[in-house]
Structure 1
């Protein structure tokens, strides 16, 4: 099953950028922004966007925008803008790392950016370059190198006030640890990114979505599908809050893939249909390409070759786009896999042979592995065991370079079966032993995964407890302050009453009375504020309406009570009566003396 999903990861990844590669509402808006740009920095940013989006389908146009961007940066002689143009180029190629050539180009631009940023004391740009280098190494399955770059990025980002840099640094670090199967460390880095995005950049839509998507991928890796869905639903809620319809379409596609992976195919179909309907509403046909990729992924995962081929037949625009973008090999790979499942092996061989030159010369390690695996499966079914052995040995070499236990176990099982069919029992025994070792290791990892899920849940509960404790501490602190204010107001009124009993000037009583009633009514408004915000959920117009009503009641009451109390206390007659009454209570009564 993993074989099919991994293949489509390659397809979807290419489509993700290619979907924007022709004229469309997005690139039209970017061109408008470029036309209206008033500074060299703005022009470089928008030219970088256009260069990235045109890379797949119109490489000459992408290169044209890149050349214009670099020319503006060079002519400015601003080192920061020159580094920015290098980073834009690194980002341009790092979006399409399914091809090893793009990995190398992105790495070279990132290294140039590092060198220039170091020489000109630009630590934030240097950190961004390390993030791109870490991405390149992850895509090449070299997680040790990726981690070293992540550590360099983190050392620079930790001293920065740039929230975007800090969030992306922690996400990148989490992705690297996830690739190394250090799930707890990955989770903690994602939580660090989440804390920054939620507490320090509350209104930053992009950062929040990036973190939610990363956490969804993390839980997907643990097969915790419900948690994975939760975070995409959170990201989707933000698209309504910030009115981001294009991003909502992408979330629908992500939900469709998660439901498909969790074998809830009906719900997956529902979200893919929602995505197609929204693309129609937006009048953005190219956005459907990602959804088509998701649907193909689902059909291949279900092993429905007839549905896969029928889908391709009914979507000629999908085929035309892939061909125009130079992605014919994707179609050939899909058709080859479908015909294997159909049992039409000659047709499968024809299409896979057409795709072979790309995978042999340009694909990264993981995509090469799956291509070799498909070729080995094809020839095994054709009973051409020498050819099957040839491709599965190449797949074994790729699995060793990647270092993934599941891939090693799967290819060992295949080679064990193949050697048995070839009556080479010695090699069959060797690979059977390897399969058992890898299988035991994976069972251990599965147990560790279960423990990891529990540990992650414990970490979440600990965070929740800390949040509740912090909330309780805040509430206690506020209650103490409210009590202190209450005591202070009571003391002021007691003092005011004492002034009324003794001979104190009327002016002093009036001044103290003024402040006493100010304190009292402001305290009432302070208490009311909390409840008002709770009732209105922070809606400004509702808060204003309630406060107008409240003040219209309290203000006259304030003036009336202040006037009456101060008049009473400054009355000379009342002063004498109060003093006499007070002394009569304080002084003991004398008993008459008998003569």
Structure 2
């Protein structure tokens, strides 16, 4: 029942996305272009139109044509900021591996704007944009070059936000290169820098931080950690006001994809319900296309070929007409037991796949074609397909799993024909690659352990610093207590002797003042905790305290002086002798003092 609901919802989504909603929005955007009163307004409207084509309708060709028109209008413009904005807008929204002449032109033009005008205000953002775009296009060397330039600039300017952005990009590049430890180091350095930013800025960067860690953990197949960081990103997106629902849905689509890849489809149904309903409501063809593709993958991987047939033939007949859907039909007919029709569509798909330059796509196709013949017990034909799969998988990065599966299937076929020598050869190849993958995974695990160990070390160091600081403060408090008690002791001792009035007033003033200051010092932390550090509240409370302590200080000081006068304990300046005072305090000096006075 649940699968039927999803299939019906996807079909309704397909129909609704062809309704007038998308067309009306395009008409409004085009009207903005016509009604613009300046080149800036016209360019902004055209950029919004291009973004809508690219991000919502998934029509990259139309988006490129709009961008071409924008670039043409800016050819003779002297407004470097507008040029920079347009080219950066294009680079920000290019799809991954989307290599077109416009991409190269945009990168060159942005750098030209910097070099010709030496605009410091856009230097960092320009190199960052080109670095990100180069990474999307798979040009790692170019991405690293511009990321380093952006990082050097941020260091020279001492700008924390720029430092964080550049470290994020460097970490992302290292993730793609497979240097997990380096990537973690950049991400952790960025996380430390966040502490000096405002709360709002920290929130945004923490969101980006979770997204980058999601990519990193997914790249090393640590799906539990990847899921944790993606869930944190989703929580952040849901907490925004207003909520960007499109961004939120794509995050949930990422989570659904993670469940499919990790062979954990139990949580997929509610996600697909929500995503497809939103795609229907907003006419988002890109979201619809991605969710449909992911749903098909789930059905194929879980061998639900009848559900796949119902979905494609009854609700998406227009999708089947394109050549690249022949593989889907091949699986559908195989599920129905129509093997000849299944092989026919596999052959059609083979011609289409071989016309591309994508070796991974070719390896994946022959992998599925080989399993098709295995299920039909046609071992010779299956052997040919797995050999083709191994050939193309060996030539592409990321094809190791397909290559291993091909070798294992060839080993099984050789064993079934009692060709033990050939089977041993295939087994050696697959085992060596498995060991290599184990070593890579082992190194990745070690890298994670090192990172966690470093984090733990930093935590211990931080705790030690806090503890040392606490002990230092305790020693200072103890020293202050001794000083206060010593002042009171001196006051008591001096009060028992005949001393000048000015001396007793001075000692009484500082002794009593130190007591009250110590009281205020002890109350300072509770006051700040109560007021949450608000200066106005701190000022008001301390004013109240001082208004009580000040007259009390004056009263005590006056009382001490009055008492001493009343009891005739104060001496005149003429009768006061400092040596006699020392003799009173230290009796062993008394004899020497009296002799000195007589002489």
Going from structure 1 to structure 2, the CA distance change for 1:273 and 1:395 (only over 3 Å counts) comes to same
User: What are the within-5 Å matches in structure 2 for residues 279-428 of structure 1?
Assistant: 279=278, 283-284=281-282, 286=284, 287=287, 290-312=290-312, 316=316, 328=322, 331-337=325-331, 339=333, 344-352=338-346, 359-361=353-355, 364-378=358-372, 383=378, 385=380, 389=384, 392-393=387-388, 396-402=391-397, 404-416=399-411
Partner of 2:253: 253
Distance 2:585 2:92 in 1: 87
Q: TM-score, normalised by structure 2?
A: 0.70
Partner of 2:67: 66
Match of 1:528 among 526, 529, 552: 526
Call closer, same or farther: CA 1:411–1:28 in 2, change over 3 Å.
Answer: farther
Cα 1:209–1:453 shift into 2, 3 Å = same
- Cα deviation code 1:45-90 (max 9, x no counterpart): 7754542441363446424541453255434413454344334333
Structure-2 separation of matches of 1:32 and 1:464: 58
Secondary structure at 1:54 match in 2: helix
Q: Which residue of 2 aligns with 1:225?
A: 223
**Within 1, Cα distance between the matches of 2:509 and 2:29?**
64
**Any conservation in 1 of the 2:127–2:149 contact (CA below 8 Å)?**
no
Q: Which secondary structure state, in structure 2, belongs to the residue aligned with residue 178 of structure 1?
A: helix
Range moving further from structure 2, 486-495 or 346-355: 486-495
Contact 1:256/1:271 (8 A) holds in 2 = yes
Match of 1:562 among 544, 547, 550: 550
Is contact 1:216-1:228 (8 Å) kept? yes
CA contact (8 A) 1:90 1:106 kept: yes
Alpha-carbon distance between aligned partners in 2 of 1:111 and 1:578, rounded to the nearest angstrom: 95
Q: In the aligned structure 2, how far is the partner of 1:240 from the partner of 1:119?
A: 43
Encode CA deviations 1:258-312: one digit per residue, 9 max, x unaligned: 34444443234344445557x38x9435356554444444333323223333444
Partner of 2:563: 574
- The aligned residue for residue 501 of structure 2 is 503
| CA separation of 1:342 and 1:171: change in aligned 2, threshold 3 A | farther
| Cα distance in 1 for residues equivalent to 2:493 and 2:355 | 96
Q: Is the aligned partner of 1:88 residue 2:82?
A: no
Match of 2:178 in 1: 181
Compared CA separation, residues 267 and 413, structure 1 to 2 (3 A): same
Query: Does the aligned pair in 1 maintain the 2:360–2:392 contact within 8 Å?
Result: no
Q: Distance in 1 between matches of 2:163 and 2:29?
A: 26
The alpha-carbon distance between structure 1 residues 486 and 238, as it changes in their structure 2 partners (threshold 3 A), is farther
How many Å apart are 1:232 and its aligned residue?
2.0
CA distance in 2, matches of 1:568, 1:194: 55
Deviations 1:183-231 (A, max 9, x none): 2223223323433456546524553322212212222333433322221
Contact 2:359 2:392 in 1 (8 A): no
Q: Distance in 2 between matches of 1:185 and 1:508?
A: 65
Q: Distance in 2 between matches of 1:112 and 1:573?
A: 87
Q: Which runs of 5+ in 2 are unaligned?
A: 1-13, 572-580, 591-599
Answer whether contact 2:87 2:110 (CA < 8 A) is retained: yes
Cα distance change of structure 1 residues 427 and 464 upon mapping to structure 2, 3 Å threshold: same
Contact 1:198 1:208 in 2 (8 A): no
Tell me which residue corresponds to 2:103: 106
Aligned to 1:12: none
**Counterparts of 2:303 and 2:50, CA distance in 1:** 38
**Aligned residues between the structures:** 548
Matches within 5 A, 1:545-556: 547=537, 555-556=543-544
Q: Deviations over 1:88-143 (max 9, x none)?
A: 333443x242x6xx3665355434544554454464213431332233126xxxx6
Structure 1 stretch displaced more, 445-454 or 212-221: 445-454
* Unaligned residue ranges in structure 1 (runs of 5+): 1-14, 591-595
Whichever of the two has the greater Rg, that structure is 2
1:369 positional shift: 3.4
* 1:339/1:348 contact within 8 Å kept: yes
Question: What is the alpha-carbon root mean square deviation over aligned residues?
Answer: 5.4
Q: Distance in 2 between matches of 1:492 and 1:47?
A: 79
The CA deviation string for residues 317-363 of structure 1, in whole angstroms up to 9 with x for no partner, is xx76x69xxx9456444444455566544444455555556644556
- Structure-1 residue corresponding to 2:135: 134
Kept in 2, the 8 Å contact 1:378–1:388? The answer is: no
1: CA distance, partners of 2:42 / 2:65: 14
Partner of residue 170, structure 1: 167
1:238 to partner: Cα distance: 2.0
Corresponding residue SS for 2:200: coil
Residues 491 and 508, structure 2, Cα contact 8 Å, conserved in 1? no
| 1:265 match | 265
What TM-score results when the alignment is normalised by the length of structure 1? 0.70
For 1:374 and 1:53, the matched residues in 2 are separated by: 36
- Among residues 441, 449, 463, which one is paired with 1:468 in the alignment? 463
Q: Which digits, 9 at most, give the CA deviation of each residue in 1:156-204, with x for residues without a partner?
A: 5544556665445434433443344332223223323433456546524
Q: Judging changes above 3 Å, is the alpha-carbon distance between structure 1 residues 574 and 74 closer, same or farther for their aligned structure 2 residues? A: farther
Shift of 1:566: 0.5
1:434 is aligned to 2:423 = no
